[in-house]
Amino acid sequence: MSLLKRRGMIFPAFSIHGGVAGLFDYGPVGGRLLRKVQQEWREHWLSKGNIVEIDSPTITPDSVLAASGHISAFNDHASECNACNAIFRSDHLVEEFHQNPDSLSGPDLDAILTTNNVACPSCKESDWLASRPMNLMFGTRIGATRGGRQAYMRPETAQGMFLTYPMIQRHFRNRLPFGAIQVGKGYRNEISPRQGMIRQREFNMAELEYFIDPETDASHDFTKWDGIEFNLIPDPAGGQQNETKMGISAALNENIIRHPTVAFFMAETFDFLINIGANPEKIRFRQHESDEMAHYATDCWDLEMLGSYGWIECVGIAHRGCYDLGAHEEATNSKELRAWREFAEPIEIDKEVAAAVGAVIGPAFRQQAGLVTQALSELNDLPSAFPFDLNLSDGTTVSIEENMVEIKRVQETIRGEWFLPHVVEPAFGLDRIIWHILDHGYEMTEKEGEEYLILHLTESVAPYEVVVLPLFEKDGMDEVANQIQRDLLKLNGIGVYYDGSKSIGRRYARADEIGVPWAITVDHTTIEDGTVTIRRRDDQLQIRISQDDLAQHLQNGTLGSLY
């Protein structure tokens, strides 16, 4: 963290105003790293061809979050010390006494606190009030005047994809499977933020909701991952007790991974992380046990990355069934959250219907007669008695007498049905991933008897692709270096900075510390013949090439081929 602060990567936000726990800035170097990780993530999914990106508001009205379950269930338990009134997350207090404390109920947490005489971290007494659930959403009100509407900062980006499902479905002309992604801020009003970047109050999320027809066999090609062994920790309830290494197809065939689309997204997520520089040995998948998983989920895997905080959940990949669309359908009566499934063969059925008798309905309901006729035609079952109440599409209810309808036998052809798609959701915590990419790339080595740091970042996420250094800021070397910087900046998407302060060794070291893959040096020979030296961060080898070749190879990403 001290390196990250010193080199302008990431630092506690608002520090000149005293700081706020759980809020961080990405600085002049970290800002571009964050953008590049976001961009790589986007391209990874958008290049599948049946996935689109949306962008929805972070301010979310209460009715949405009541339907999604966040108002009732987005809680942590908090315990208050009866002696000093300090408040802590209950699961943090008991974590040395239980393997998975955030799955515990309030009474279970209280029992562990009491049985083990857990001491208050503030005053060392052990006298706890009963734990209480605390909602973790940031509340606000929409409308600057009285009578505003209760709202919250979104706890996840996922609701945006569920609520725009009608447009996504229309965009793909109802052809499942399809998905939508969203990259943006999520908010969680932590009781006591800790672990720096790992547990923030405002964080960068990236989520994908992939909509599938549960009755269609998911077809995924897993040959790409043949020969790759994944680190898996399956739910012990499945019979497999320990961490294991296994191919993705094998895990699916043995029903350890319970759905092919879940397996597909696990493997694709692995690929994404390797592409941005994660160490495959420091990635594992841990399956949720049934008491850990939301009741509606049928399979759920955490991708964990190993770093200075141990194994940390960085991605969750969950099969959420039709829970989310179903919850919004129930709350809103919207008819737009379904997909159409055509039957292989149309079904012909005979059924009895209560058909409207126009001569009675007309005079009885006048302007509403059309609505009554329509509502009768949409009844699924015959009325069990008369009179009965009939709900019309204008929201009113009318009473239907026996003489208003005629029971008829009709034949109907049913070509298909509307159903709630199922959802597989990979949800990424980008700040945690960035933390681990930095951790995995960090190599403390030695140079001339002193510690020397190299940050091995892939070109795809390095904050700058290249630094331009004049050997000295004199004899025209600085002007040439400035000109090379300007020329290279014209290349699309290439980040280039100029560094002229202090010795050339110090400047190489500064570039290595922030992971710049290539350093261009302008020296006396450059002034004579226009060539520059190129130094590769990872092995510090230098070669000399012309400025034209430099631009060409940088643009094509082929500088490495010269070595």
| Contacts of its own copies in 44-73 (CB under 8 A) | 46-49, 52-61, 63-64, 67
3-state SS class at 526: helix
Beta carbon of residue 51, minimum distance to its own copies (angstroms, whole number): 9
By beta-carbon proximity to its own copies, the closer residue of 8 and 214 is 8
Q: Which two tokens stand for residue 435?
A: 């933390």
Integer Cα distance of 121 and 444 in angstroms: 34
Minimal distance in Å, beta carbon 148 to its own copies? 8
Q: Does 474 participate in binding its own copies (rule CB under 8 A)?
A: no
DSSP state of 130: P
In whole angstroms, how close is the CB of 230 to its own copies at the nearest point?
25
Q: What gap in Å lies between CA 282 and CA 307, rounded to an integer? A: 8
224 binds its own copies (CB under 8 A): no
Strands (E), 74-138: 75-80, 87-89, 132-135
Judged by CB under 8 A, the residue of 99, 117, 173, 221 near its own copies is 173
In terms of CB distance, is 152 or 230 closer to its own copies?
152
Figure out which of the listed residues 163, 208, 314, 455 binds its own copies, where binding follows CB under 8 A.
163
Is 27 a binder of its own copies (CB under 8 A)? yes
Is 362 one of the binding residues for its own copies (CB under 8 A)?
Answer: no
Interface with its own copies (CB under 8 A), residue total: 99
Query: At its nearest, how many Å lie between its own copies and the CB of residue 255?
Result: 30
Q: Please say which residue, 304 or 499, places its beta carbon nearer to its own copies.
A: 499
Tokens of 152: 């919250």
Assign 28 to helix, strand or coil: coil
Q: Cα separation of 201 and 14, whole Å?
A: 14
Nearer to its own copies, 186 or 441 (CB): 186
Nearer to its own copies, 2 or 501 (CB): 501
- Encoded one letter per residue, x for contact with its own copies by CB under 8 A and - for no contact, window 179-218 reads -x-x-xx-x-xxx---------xx-x--------------
**Residue numbers 127-146 binding its own copies by CB under 8 A:** 134-136, 138-146
Query: Residue 193 Cβ, how far from its own copies at the closest point, in Å?
Result: 9
CA 121 to chain centre: 33
Q: Is 171 in the site for its own copies (CB under 8 A)?
A: yes
Put residue 39 in one of left, alpha, beta given phi > 0 → left and psi -120 to 50 → alpha.
Answer: alpha
List binders of its own copies among 483-542 (CB under 8 A).
485-486, 489-490, 492-493, 495-499, 501
Least distance to its own copies, CB of residue 39, Å:
8
3 interacts with its own copies by CB under 8 A: no
Cβ distance to its own copies smaller for residue 168 or 283: 168
Shorter beta-carbon distance to its own copies: residue 135 or 244: 135
Q: Does 272 bind its own copies (CB under 8 A)?
A: no
Asked whether position 168 contacts its own copies by CB under 8 A, the answer is yes
CA–CA dist 301, 265 (Å, integer): 10
Take residue 49 and report the two structure tokens written for it. 């061809």
Q: Which residues, listed in sequence order, are joined to residue 470 by a DSSP beta bridge?
A: 522
- In 430-502, at which residue ranges do the beta strands (DSSP E only) sit? 442-447, 450-455, 466-470, 496-498
Is the Cβ–Cβ distance between 511 and 499 less than 8 Å?
yes
Footprint of its own copies on 320-349 (CB under 8 A):
328, 331-332, 334, 336-337
Are 191 and 87 within 8 A, CB to CB? yes
Alpha-carbon distance of 12 to 7, in angstroms, equals: 13
Q: Which residues of 357-498 form beta strands (DSSP E)?
A: 388-391, 397-400, 405-419, 422-429, 442-447, 450-455, 466-470, 496-498
Contacts (Cβ under 8 Å, ≥6 apart) of 213: 176, 177, 339, 341, 419, 421, 422
Residues 6+ apart with CB under 8 A from 83: 120, 123, 125, 127
**Of 81, 109, 153, 205, the one binding its own copies by CB under 8 A:** 153
3-state secondary structure of 507: helix
Residue 79 or 287 with smaller CB distance to its own copies: 79
- Asked whether the bond before 177 is cis by omega within 30 degrees of 0, the reply is yes
Question: Binder to its own copies among 1, 111, 123, 167 (CB under 8 A)?
Answer: 167
Q: Does 157 bind its own copies (CB under 8 A)?
A: no
**Binding to its own copies by residue 449, rule CB under 8 A?**
no
Q: Which is nearer to its own copies, 186 or 234 (CB)?
A: 186
Residue with Cβ nearer its own copies (61 or 346): 61
Q: How far is the CB of 178 from its own copies (least distance, A)?
A: 9
Query: Per CB under 8 A, does 30 bind its own copies?
Result: yes
CB burial readout 513-522, b (16+ within 10 A) else e: bbbbbbbbbb
